[in-house]
A and B are shown apart, each in its own frame.
Chain A
Amino acid sequence: MKSLEAIIILTAMIVPFVAIKSYDISTYAYWSIITGIYLVYISISRW
């Protein structure tokens, strides 16, 4: 379960290297949102 969680979050964090190429706030916003979602997940999930 933790391995799957690690793969999902790391894959999500790598996305800007391959998929976001616009010269605006997109990359910044994307990384912030993914980290925010993961923080919420950590705070409500069972460890």
Chain B
Amino acid sequence: MFIYAFVVYAVIGTAIAVYAMRGIKSQEDYYIGGRRISGIISALTYSATTYSAFMMVGLVGLTYASGVGALGFELFYLVGTLLLLSTYAPKVWELGKKRGYITPGDMIADRYGDVVARTMAIIVSIALIPYISVQLIGVSLILEKNSGLDFSTGVIISAFLIAFWAFLGGLRSVAWTDAIQGVFMLILALSTVIWVYNYGFQNTSFFEELPKLGELLVVPNKVWTPFRFVALTVPWFFFALTNPQVFQRLYIPKNEIALRRMVVLFGLFGFIYTILVTFLGLELRVLSNAEILPMIKNRDAVTPTLLGIMPSWLGVAVSLSIFAAAITTANSIVLTLSSMISKDLFKSENIHTGKILIVVLTSAITMFALQKPGYIVELSVLSSTLLLCQLPLIFSVFHWNIGGKTSGILTLSVGFLSAILLFSLKMNPLGIPASVWVFTISFAVFFITAKVEK
């Protein structure tokens, strides 16, 4: 049954991608939709790009295993994003339009020089490969459990669609398919919450059983210590500025009204989706505590277990919505990375260079995913921590008239290497989380070197 649904999904997505190919003449058309995207489509592509398979696989499991702290972690991200977007989105959009920026690196090149933009393109490419691989791993685990496809086949099929839709129609293709899939994701999350409620709480009350979760209903608890909360929250808080796939979307709205609509509707989407997903995790944990469902030890197995007990039609639809969430995030990242490598690193003005890079990047991501590295949440956060080194350079564009080529390169290099070092050695010096160290080191290096450079 899943295969039939998947074929329908792939055909509809491909038809949209083919339609989106029309009229693409320049890099501006291909990578940012010619700056002519409506507010609603911008909001849906921003949402679908941001909210990945992590939500229905990782966050449901994280809430199940660790309680309400998972909601706090995700809502801290949302609040941080709304704060950053309401502050910087209008400035980035205006600057982008005025100076003709296409990639996030264009703004950095304009301010610090081409070499810094090149360094940034290399760093974000290295940092985001694990993040995209997480999407492939997440959906392939779902496919393996529910459709009979083995893990490797799932990875390869997902990778093909990621590359194919981005390759055909660029941003417009990605944005239009994102919009449909975003609505689909939201509807299926709501349907799942309602189904679980009807399935598990016919003879027992959710609110009567809930207090039995005890420590899971408060923070801090054994999992959500202040240390862990800060360690996970800091990199995600700045996601809107440090992740190029969402930063680049600040260029796409057709006017300021569309930009504002994008931010507000994204906030609404994120708010509803987060509430639904975390509520689902709590529902399932209550049912496990009441022995209506088995207790699940591995948090990444919570959603696959749920899919196994659902009616097959709903299980197929939810699996497809998780698949869609992964595809929408991954193809946006691949398209953005191809624009940065093509334009910022190779200085190519040709769309075909970007198309070749989409294929190359997707192949690299597939290889990484097939190795199934580590835990899903930690891998995603590692990517965001690696990207923190860009923050001083981005803030400086708007706030401080300091820094140049040397401080730009040193900030990116030292920040990035310190993140790699701290994570690989599993070090948290002085009991402070690695992500906070990377944040502090990056700003310290920027201010010191910018002062010397001046």
Task: Give residues in A with beta carbon < 8 Å to B.
Answer: 2, 5-6, 9-10, 13, 16-17, 20-28, 31-32, 34-36, 38-39, 42-43, 45, 47
A36 to B58, CA, bound (A): 23
With a CB–CB cut-off of 8 A, which chain A residues contact B278? Answer: 28
Given B75, B214, B267, which contacts A31 in the complex, CB threshold below 8 Å? Answer: B75
Do the beta carbons of A23 and B68 come within 8 Å of each other?
no
- Please, how many angstroms separate the alpha-carbon atoms of A31 and B79 in the complex? 10
Pick the residue among B68, B83, B89, B271 that contacts A27 (CB under 8 A).
Answer: B68
Is the CB–CB distance between A16 and B219 below 8 Å?
yes
Chain A residues with CB under 8 Å of B210's CB are 24-25
Out of A2, A24, A26, A39, which one reaches B268, CB within 8 Å?
A: A39
B164 interfacial contact with A, CB 8 Å: no
Contact yes or no, A16 B218, CB < 8 A: yes
Known contacts A5-B83, A47-B87, A31 near B271 by CB under 8 Å: no
Closest to B226 in A: A17
Residue pairs across A and B with Cβ atoms less than 8 A apart, 13 shown, are: A5-B83, A9-B79, A13-B72, A17-B229, A21-B218, A28-B71, A28-B217, A28-B279, A35-B75, A35-B271, A43-B264, A47-B87, A47-B90
Size class of the contact patch on chain B: 35 or more
A24-B211, A42-B263 given as contacts; is B75 within 8 A of A13 (CB)? yes
Please state if A13 and B79 are interface contacts (CB–CB under 8 Å): yes
When A and B form their complex, what is the total count of cross-chain residue pairs whose Cβ atoms lie within 8 Å? 82
Q: Which 9 A-B pairs have the closest CB atoms?
A: A43-B264, A23-B211, A35-B75, A39-B267, A27-B68, A28-B68, A47-B86, A23-B217, A42-B82
Residues of B within 8 A of A32 (CB): 71, 75, 275
Q: How far is the CA of A17 from the CA of B210 in the complex (A)?
A: 19
* Known A9-B83, A39-B267: A47·B68 in contact at CB below 8 Å: no
Select one of A13, A22, A28, A39 contacting B271, CB under 8 A.
Answer: A39
Contact with A along B397-434 (1 / 0, CB 8 A): 00000000000000000000000000000000000000
Complex Cα–Cα for A9 and B89 (A)? 19
Tell me, in angstroms, the Cα distance from A9 to B237 when the chains sit together. Answer: 13
Contact check: which of B76, B260, B263 meets A13 at CB < 8 Å?
Answer: B76
Tell me if B68 and A22 are in contact (CB < 8 A). Answer: no
Which of A24, A26, A27 lies at the interface centre, i.e. has the most chain B CB atoms within 10 A of its CB?
A27
Contact in complex: B87, A23 (CB < 8 Å): no
Q: Is B113 an interface residue (CB 8 A)?
A: no
Which applies to chain B's interface (DSSP): helix, strand, loop or mixed? helix
CA distance A22 to B275 in the complex (A): 20
How far is B267's CA from A17's CA once the two chains are assembled, in angstroms?
Answer: 24
A2 neighbours in B (Cβ, 8 Å): 83, 87
Contact of A38 among B68, B72, B79 (CB under 8 A): B79
- Give bound CA distance, A9 to B207, whole Å: 28
Provide the residues of chain A in CB contact with B68, threshold 8 Å.
Answer: 16, 27-28, 31
Residues of A within 8 A of B79 (CB): 9-10, 13, 34-35, 38
Q: Are A25 and B217 in touch, CB under 8 angstroms?
A: yes
For the complex, is B326 an interface residue (Cβ under 8 Å from A)?
no
Residues of the B chain whose Cβ atoms lie less than 8 Å from the Cβ of A26: 217
Complex CA gap A25/B210 in Å reads: 8
* A42 to B266 CA separation, bound complex (whole angstroms): 12
Residues of B within 8 A of A22 (CB): 217-218
Which residues on A sit within 8 Å (CB–CB) of B211?
A: 23-24
Q: Which chain B positions have C-beta within 8 A of A9?
A: 79, 83
Contacts A32-B71, A35-B79; A42 near B90 (Cβ below 8 A) = no
> Which residue of chain A has the shortest Cβ distance to B237 in the bound complex?
A10
Inside 8 A of B268's CB, which chain A residues have their CB?
39
Question: Would you call A42 and B214 a contact (CB within 8 A)?
Answer: no
Beyond A2-B87, A24-B210, is A17–B82 a contact (Cβ under 8 Å)?
no
- Bound-complex Cα distance A9 to B78 (A): 12
If the complex has contacts A28-B68, A28-B71, A43-B267, are A35 and B218 also in contact, measured as CB distance less than 8 A? Answer: no
Give complex CA distance A26, B71 in Å: 12
CA of A39 to CA of B24 in the docked complex: distance in angstroms?
Answer: 36
**Which residue on chain B has the smallest CB distance to residue A45?**
B86
Chain B hits for A43, CB < 8 A: 264, 267
* Cβ of B200 under 8 Å from chain A: no
